Amino acid sequence: AQSVTQLGSHVSVSEGALVLLRCNYSSSVPPYLFWYVQYPNQGLQLLLKYTSAATLVKGINGFEAEFKKSETSFHLTKPSAHMSDAAEYFCAVIDYNNNDMRFGAGTRLTVKP
Amino acid sequence: GAVVSQHPSRVICKSGTSVKIECRSLDFQATTMFWYRQFPKKSLMLMATSNEGSKATYEQGVEKDKFLINHASLTLSTLTVTSAHPEDSSFYICSASLAEPYEQYFGPGTRLTVT
């Protein structure tokens, strides 16, 4: 079954610094990949998705992610962190066997002033 | 577009009672709806998948007699926690999906507290 691994349960950056959240997937075929953001006591909001089109995917709030097949990665980046980016971020993959979505463990992003 | 609502957003109930949580897709007809449970500072755990008019498919370890799921229409799914106990306290999130690429749209979640 497809799965994703998020490296780093907690990432801390300074305001204005580069944000890099790591996600690696396990799949023998190009999967559908997603990044979601969750603010406290709220549901998940889609940031961006990869569905076998362009490998560099641009999302909302200035985030983007690049699908790298050779590295089986789909890391999330943002050039300049803002205080409002502090949240929990989840990488997810669609499991082709049953079309269920499988989530990574999540990465908590803290932005320091 | 693609808005999913949940009701209630918060509920407190006494141990032994049942609680129903509604999940609605407001502006689209969902082919499939999903129910997740999220523990504090943890990822989402899929509980069950449901399609309109058919029985839900439960993940291993999820008690189907305790977590009753009804998917009466293409826009409404309900999760009933029967005979709730304090260990059922959690954040429950639903989602709804369209056809390929099976992207899921998430509701805002329901915080259940069992006293």
Distance, CA of B31 to CA of A104 (rounded, Å): 24
| pLDDT tens-digit map of B53-91 | 788 999 999 999 999 999 888 899 999 999 999 999 999
User: What are the tens digits of pLDDT across the range A27-39?
Assistant: 777 788 999 999 9
Length of chain B: 115
**Which residues on chain B are in Cβ contact (under 8 Å) with A108?**
41
Cβ within 8 Å, pair B43-A103: yes
pLDDT above 70 as % of chain A = 97
pLDDT in tens, A58-109: 999 999 999 998 999 999 999 999 999 999 999 999 876 667 788 999 999 9
Q: Does B49 touch chain A (CB under 8 A)?
A: yes
Best probe of the A interface among B7, B9, B33, B44, by most A CBs < 10 A, is B44
- The predicted model gives B26-43 an average pLDDT of 89
- What pLDDT was estimated at residue A27? 76
| Rg for chain A, CA atoms, rounded | 13
The DSSP 8-state label assigned to residue B15 in this structure reads: T
